[in-house]
Amino acid sequence: MDASRRSRLQEMLIVQEEEILHIRVKPGWKKGTKITFKGKGDQKPGTLPADIAFVMDEKRHPVYKRLGDDLELGVEIPLPGWKKGTKITFKGKGDQKPGTLQADIAFVIDEKRHPVYKRLGNDLELGVEIPLVQALTCCTITIPLLGGEKMTLSFDDILYQGCEKIIPGQGMPKPNEEGRRGDLQVKFLIKFPDELSQVQRSEIVGILRDCS
């Protein structure tokens, strides 16, 4: 880098000098780093030469964002439907040592337990508890869907413990089949009464005896 300085040795005598200053920028220098060349600036009569100072700035990078000593890389990962254990690799986006190629960055998908659904591959399982009286007569329930919507289901047949009803296309998105989803398996859990009176027991026995 060329730099020029002016020396005013006398009131009317100004001498302009040129000198090449070398700045060796070290890898990792941050914005605000100051490089000072002592005594390389202008000089007035009866004073010491001033210093020349350069302050580092950073040019915005099209890919990375600097965070101190770290680099932040923003990437879009299409997650819907991806299963636990799926590996995503970004070639040449990792650390690099002198004389080596830049390493890869790899992410492995894990699954967080859902408070409502249980995942079964591309399908979802939803447990629904209903009273015994509804299981034996008729049943209308409202269930939550994965996208936040609600669905109302009505059943006229008898529902038994562990009975399953399949709702097509309401499961997990299929990663390699755009627009397609797995199924929602609604599993019924029958809630039995904690106790019955002797009269109630007798009535139930009479009713069920005729059904056997």
Contact 107, 92 (CB under 8 A): no
Of 1, 45, 40, 36, nearest to 17 (Cα)? 40
Choose the weakest-confidence range: 5-9, 19-23, 87-91.
5-9
Strands of 61-176, DSSP E: 64-67, 70-73, 87-90, 105-108, 117-120, 123-131, 139-144, 150-155, 164-167
Q: Which residue has the higher pLDDT, 179 or 184?
A: 184
- Return the pLDDT at 89: 84
More confident residue, 62 or 143: 143
What does the pLDDT read at residue 102? 78
pLDDT at 25: 73
Greater pLDDT, 26 or 86: 86
Residue 109 confidence (pLDDT) = 83
Task: Judge whether residue 20 has pLDDT over 70.
Answer: yes
Average pLDDT over residues 57-79: 69
The pLDDT, as a whole number, for residue 69 is: 64
User: Is pLDDT at 11 greater than 60 in this prediction?
Assistant: no
Distance CA 204, CA 212 (A): 12
Where do the domains of the chain lie, and which CATH numbers do they carry? 2-55 (2.60.260.20), 77-110 (no CATH), 117-211 (2.60.260.20)
**Model pLDDT for residues 125-134, shown as the tens digit of each residue:** 999 999 988 8
Tens of pLDDT, residue by residue over 77-90, are 666 777 888 888 88
Question: Which pTM was predicted?
Answer: 0.55
Distance between CA atoms of residues 123 and 166, nearest Å? 10
Q: Give the mean pLDDT of the chain.
A: 80
Query: Ranked by mean pLDDT, which of 85-94, 95-104, 151-160 comes out on top?
Result: 151-160
